[in-house]
Structure 1
Amino acid sequence: MSAIEKKLTELGIHLPEAPAPAANYVPFVISGNLVHISGQISQDANGLVKGRLGDTMAAEAGAAAAKQCAISLLAQLKAACDGDLDRLKRVVKLNGFVASAHDFHEQPKVINGASDFLVEALGDKGRHARSAVGVAALPLGVAVEIDGIFEIE
């Protein structure tokens, strides 16, 4: 077990199997020392986390959904690294998409759920650049989708 997975276990997190793509794309692409991971949608042990922030869902619930996206990103990264998360040098960038009512303006607060989790789990390796964007709708009605770029050794 990698040191990162040990830390995740201490936090009560067990990485799921990396989700399979839902359409005609690959879950990640490695280019040089960068891993580009396709968007991970909000889902937990009960299934898809659906909703629209500022309408059917509060920002705190959206942040929890974003954390689930970050967990899926780490599961994909583990698959990309042949099971060795300790190859991670740093999280480079996250792009967060939040299904939002037209008057909802707390997208950064929602995506903080992913950002805060990655820093808690990875320390300085988890600090990253990011975007937090409100959108009218996301695939399958989910509340949050996040893709990411990771640097590996």
Structure 2
Amino acid sequence: MSIEQRIVELGFVLPNASEPQGSYANCVRTGNLLYVSGKGPAAGFSEVPQGKLGREYDVEQGYAFARAAGLDILAAVKLAVGRLDRVSRVVKLQGFINATDTFEQHPKVLDGCSDLMVAVFGEKGLHARSVFGATSVRENLPIIIDSIFEIAD
């Protein structure tokens, strides 16, 4: 079963990859590593969510936002390399959580993207990661996730 088939089997739909909003690339490949620019939660929402975790949104909503950002990441990877079956490893996720200064559940929010990667890629989806609270992020999005993938030739 292909990775795209697995995504459908899991009940997800890949969105069209979001476009960069400045002078940068969606993805940059160097050697066998693909660096994906920060993605927010655009997939599956009638309006792009805006606001802070711990104020407008709770952990469960943040988890869903991280999963949506993960789907946008996968769409960008597919656009860059043609097929998601070329991913040999999810190397790293780095999350920036737009949160109040008292919000402390950043890892549980990023789990939305981490759990998606493991569900989609199995063991190849296990990755290193880091997560940070931020006082603000672009467009007041609740989460932004950068990622690195290893790509097979």
Asked if these proteins are the same fold (TM beyond 0.5), I'd say yes
Structure 1 residue ranges (4+ consecutive) displaced by more than 2 angstroms after TM superposition: none
Matched, 1:119 2:118: yes
| CA deviation string 1:61-99 (max 9, x = no partner) | 001000011001100100111x21111001000000100
| Ranges in structure 2 where 5+ consecutive residues have no aligned partner | none
Distance in 2 separating the partners of 1:64 and 1:109: 11
| Ranges in structure 1 where 5+ consecutive residues have no aligned partner | none
Distance in 1 separating the partners of 2:21 and 2:141: 13
Q: How does 1:52-91 map to 2 (within 5 A)?
A: 52-81=52-81, 83-91=82-90
Distance in 1 separating the partners of 2:99 and 2:15: 27
Cα distance, 1:108 vs structure 2: 0.3
8 Å contact 1:96–1:146 — kept in the other structure?
Answer: yes
Residue identity over aligned pairs, in percent, reads 40
8 Å contact 1:42–1:50 — kept in the other structure?
Answer: no
Matched, 1:4 2:3: yes
Distance in 1 separating the partners of 2:62 and 2:56: 10
8 Å contact 1:30–1:36 — kept in the other structure?
Answer: yes
Cα distance, 1:44 vs structure 2: 2.9
Count residues in correspondence: 151
Cα distance, 1:47 vs structure 2: 2.8
